[in-house]
Amino acid sequence: MVTHPKNNTTNADRRGYSSAMQESITTLTFCKYTGLRRKIWAFGMMQYAHAHLAKVPGIRFYKLLGSGKGKGFNPLPDWSTYAVLIVWENEKAANDFFAAAKLARLYEEKTTEMWTLYLRHLTAKGAWSGQNPFTESKNVSPENPLLAVVTRATIKPKLLYAFWKYVPTSHRRLHDNPGLIFTKGVGEVPIIQMATFSLWRDKESLMSFAYGEKEHRKAVEQTRKLDWYSEEMFARFQPYRSVGTWGGSDPLQEMLDVRR
């Protein structure tokens, strides 16, 4: 069993905390499972967790996500790792859920590790299941340069082969990028509906990869040329708090400690 041991919030984030608690935020929780029975349970919850989440107060939007092998996009599933993305009416609703909800306790009991990031909304372009659930935050801290990004797309069936053939080239220089803290490919439906979550040291690191790396720049050009997606979204967030661990440590908290 794993529990959420501490709230990692910076001093800058504590100022104006009351007003920040009232605005919409997003949480993204990664769950790691070991053992066949727990992996089967996790797979089943991709269906059965909907009934629980439908009853949770304060949820505006949510997605239950599987993951791909490795760190980035991968059509092969990672049966040990799942994620839950939730857009909340406010932070209090999120805190109440993780502190006392039956579903949160179930996940904690079954997971080997559980890591939750709290995210303030910066910008979002496009649509996810026909809507944009992210509203721009008014409580972004100028002292916090960390940046989280979610890129999500539904790939057109007739272009699946061309898309997946090109993915290794477009991500070739991602994982050795010094500005990248963490990344994981997730998705609602394997192969067709895919997303990538990435955590960066700052905006400059992201922009350097997005527009400075030849392979990724070419991938953007290919996307525009071939029109791979029937729906896509690109969203940026300011990560300001984290709970739990991943790989034995908290990647976000380590960066917050460096800043101090």
Buried b (16+ CB within 10 A) or exposed e, 22-43: ebbbbbbbbbbbeeeebbebbe
Structural domains of the chain, ranges and CATH numbers in brackets: 17-252 (3.30.70.100)
Buried b (16+ CB within 10 A) or exposed e, 150-185: bbbbbbbeeeeeebeebbeebbeebeebebbbbbbb
Q: Model's pTM, two decimal places?
A: 0.86
Determine the 3-state secondary structure of 28 from DSSP: strand
The angle formed by the CA atoms of residues 109, 113 and 117, to the nearest 5 degrees, is: 110
Per-residue pLDDT of the chain (260 residues; tens, 9 = 90+): 444 544 444 444 444 445 567 899 999 999 999 999 999 999 999 999 999 999 999 999 999 999 988 766 677 899 999 999 999 999 999 999 999 999 999 999 999 999 999 999 999 999 999 999 999 999 999 999 999 999 999 988 888 877 777 665 555 556 667 889 999 999 998 888 988 999 999 999 888 876 655 555 565 566 566 677 889 999 999 999 999 999 999 989 877 766 55
**What is the rounded CA–CA span in Å between residue 151 and residue 197?**
7
Going through 8-74 in order, the beta strands assigned E by DSSP cover 8-9, 25-32, 59-67
